[in-house]
Structure 1
Amino acid sequence: MLEPLVRAALIEDLGRAGDLTSDAIVPKDRHATTVLSARQAGTVAGLDLAMLAFRLIDQNVDMNVHRADGSQVAQGESIASVTGPARAILTAERTALNFLSHLSGIATATASIVDAIRGHKAKVVCTRKTTPGLRAIEKYAVRAGGGSNHRFGLDDAILIKDNHIAIAGGIRPAIERARSSVGHLVKIEVEVDTLAQLEEALAFAPDAVLLDNMPVDELRHAVAVVAGRAITEASGRITPATAPAIATTGVDLISIGWLTHSAPILDIGLDYREL
């Protein structure tokens, strides 16, 4: 799954004529030693993609990992060293850093929420709000940051949202039709906005309920109403500042879309080292 993503990114960057700059300036037989360094503190993710970027340009490039995916790194800390043909290293540099910085940013953002709710049972999960084509690796980065994954796609489970309910004519027909159309191993989750909707949904025994944009006090009440009859998931504009209060309500899951669609990159650089 990884190689086509990296290969496509390299092709996008190389275009029709390749790396004009490196090919013109760097002798073909020149070797170099470089270091991938964290320019800020964070959590690492995406080293396999970075390595692929270098190796797809030239298999003689070697990468020695100092801090594995999921590791916490300090500002200025070395993540990995990259050695081999200098042209190949320079040509693949931006593609490698794009993947590594992006995924490390997601892992770092996830870790910030995980740390904020430490001591509570709630798990941090991502959503399907991902960059088209990059879902698998973005969800991997969430796991590297200590989080868990929600659905990977529409075929994983049934999630009945407000528009489904509106078009189906209500919560009851939506759940009944869903249950009659899928096998016994497929989970059914229902999104509810109010306590009244929650009571209605629970009457039809969904596997999970998504408690959308509820204030903390209402969320706590909702968890008490569910009383273990379904998995409870809190969602809606959750940040590291608001997550601790939400976790105290006893919800099982806290889902956050911005982890994958808006997390800032972790600033990582590639630095040349004189031999």
Structure 2
Amino acid sequence: MSPYTLPDHELERLLGEDAPAGDATTFALDIGECCGRLDFRARFAMVVCGSEEARRLGELRGLVPTGPFAASGTKLQPGETILSLTGEAAALHIVWKTAQTLMEYLSGIATTTADIVAAAHAGNPDCAVVCTRKNFPGTKAATVKAVLTGGASPHRLSLSETLLVFAEHRAFLAETPAATLARLRRRWPERAIVVEVGDEAEALAWAGANILQLEKWPIAAVDRIKQQIPGTRIAAAGGVNAANAADYARAGAAILVTSAPYFAGPRDVAVSISPA
């Protein structure tokens, strides 16, 4: 099931970027009023994402969805249909590349996210995967949809919603960790306090936090600190991917923090356009 669909004004912006003054080639060839069909298919195995947006892009230009439809989150095999649209050739050509590329990039993020989630659950079924806010600027709504589609959660939707104390914050403090934690709990009593720590000494000093975020720690060190402070939730961050997620989960990390999906390669979407 798709978590949400991008709003029409955002989709119109995408269409406007690609055809700010219409499609010169289709216009010059005088084929715009011909009736045709646009088919999108998975070229390789993927977890599809963005198919709702692709369908809506077509509808905004008067195209009609027809035949099978694969909602975001559907696992597809090569050759399986994602979406088909019918209508005038002018609209087919304007929608074609924007819809294809959006699905390719979002499906790449969703598929890589799903791979990391599967690996984490192989190590510990209760381990959660969360994705950072390191998405390309301006793409947050789309990329968060892909993360959710792949089975993970956002680590931080924004600076406004979470208490995550970095060393860069602590550089300005002149008080004990206990005093800082008490002050945060007074000011934001409903928020969990997360503290990122760089070594075991820092971890022990900030053990009163709700969650300790271990940045680029070796797996053995994660296991060691979990044994020392079993009541504190551990989040492993930095370099987490499908190859090491199971090991971090087995070592005692309750949360895996990753940016890897945002740098995943697109999942190719095959396109065909034909006269109706």
Same-fold call, TM cutoff 0.5:
yes
Name the SS for the 2:129 alignment partner: strand
| Equivalent residue letter for 1:235 | A
Asked if the contact 2:211/2:234 (under 8 Å) is kept, the reply is yes
Aligned positions of 1:124-273 closer than 5 A:
124-169=129-174, 172=177, 174-182=180-188, 184-202=189-207, 205-227=208-230, 229-260=231-262, 262-273=263-274
Query: Is residue 38 from structure 1 mapped to residue 42 from structure 2 by the alignment?
Result: yes
1:50-89 alignment, distance < 5 Å: 50-56=54-60, 58-62=61-65, 64-89=67-92
The answer (yes or no) to whether the contact 2:52–2:71 under 8 Å persists in 1 is no
Report the Cα distance in structure 2 between the residues aligned to 1:171 and 1:35, rounded to whole angstroms: 62
Residues 3-60 of structure 1: CA deviation (Å, up to 9, x unaligned): 2322222111112x2111122225333111221111111110111221222222x234
Separation in 1, partners of 2:85, 2:201: 58
Q: Is the 8 A contact 1:208 1:231 kept in 2?
A: yes
Contact 1:33 1:272 in 2 (8 A): yes
Q: Deviations over 1:65-122 (max 9, x none)?
A: 5322111111222111111222101111111112111110100111111222233121
Letter matched to residue 263 of structure 1: A
Tell me the distance in 1 between the aligned counterparts of 2:217 and 2:258.
14
TM-score normalised by structure 2 residue count: 0.90
Deviations 1:164-198 (A, max 9, x none): 1122246625434433433x212211001111111
Aligned equivalents of 2:176, 2:34: Cα separation in 1: 67
**Contact 1:44–1:104 at 8 Å: present in 2 too?**
yes
- Tell me, in whole angstroms, the C-alpha distance in 2 between the residues paired with 1:2 and 1:132: 18
* Residue-by-residue CA offset, 1:226-269 (whole Å, 9 max, x unaligned): 31x33221011122212221111121111111212x11111112
Q: What is the CA distance between 1:147 and its match in structure 2?
A: 1.5
Q: Secondary structure at the match of 2:248?
A: helix
Q: Which amino acid aligns with 2:59?
A: R
How many residue pairs end up in the alignment?
Answer: 268
Structure 2 gap ranges (5+): 1-5
CA–CA distance in 1 between the matches of 2:105 and 2:214?
29
Does the residue aligned with 2:273 lie in a helix, a strand or coil? strand
- Identical residues among aligned pairs (%): 28
The residue type equivalent to 2:129 in the other structure is V
Structure 1 63/156 Cα, relative in aligned 2: closer, same or farther at 3 Å?
Answer: farther
Report the RMSD for the aligned CA atoms in angstroms.
Answer: 1.9
* SS across alignment from 2:158: coil
Looking at structure 2, the residues matched to 153 and 46 of structure 1 have their Cα atoms a distance apart, in angstroms, of 22
Give the drift of 1:214: 0.8
SS of the residue corresponding to residue 195 of structure 2 reads strand
